[in-house]
Amino acid sequence: MTKATIDDIDVAGRRVLLRVDFNVPLHGRRVVDDRRIREALPTINALRDRGARTIIATHMGRPKGHIDRALSVVPVADRLGELLGVDVPVAADVVGPSALATVEALLDGDVAMLENLRFEPGEERNDADFATRLASFADVFVNDAFGTAHRAHASTEGVTHLLPSVAGYLMAREVEVLTGVLDDPRRPLVAVLGGAKISSKLGLLTNLLRRVDGVHIGGAMACTFFRAMGAGTGRSLVEDDMVDSARAVLESARAGSRVVSLPIDVVVVDEPVAGAAIEVVEWDAIPDDRMVVDVGPRTVAAIAASFVDAGTVIWNGPLGIYEIEAFARGTRDVARALGDSSAYSIVGGGDLDAAVDAAGVSDRIDFISTGGGATLEFLELGRLPGVDALRDRDAVTT
Residue 3 among the catalytic residues: no
Query: What would the DSSP string read from start to end of 170-231?
Result: HHHHHHHHHHHHHHS--SSEEEEE-SS-GGGTHHHHHHHHTT-SEEEE-STHHHHHHHHTT-
Is 79 among the catalytic positions? no
Sheet bearing 291-295, strands edge to edge: 279-282, 265-269, 291-295
Q: Catalytic residue among 296, 330, 348, 350, which?
A: 350
Q: Are strands 189-193 and 214-217 parallel, antiparallel or unpaired?
A: parallel
373 catalytic per annotation? yes
What's the distance, Cα to Cα, between the start and end of the chain in Å? 19
On whether the CB atoms of residues 24 and 34 are closer than 8 A, the answer is yes
Q: What is the rounded CA–CA span in Å between residue 112 and residue 91?
A: 8
Among 235, 208, 220, which residue's Cα sits nearest to residue 312?
A: 208
* 36, 79, 151, 258: the active-site residue: 36
Catalytic residue list contains 36: yes
Given the residues 339, 373, 383, 393, select the one marked as catalytic. 373
The secondary structure element, H or E, covering residue 16 is: strand 15-19
367 CB neighbour count, 10 Å cutoff:
18
Which of 35, 81, 109, 197 is catalytic? The answer is: 197
CA distances in angstroms from 180 to 1, 193, 216, 264, 342, listed in the order given: 10, 19, 21, 31, 18
Q: Which residues are known to be catalytic? A: 36, 197, 350, 373
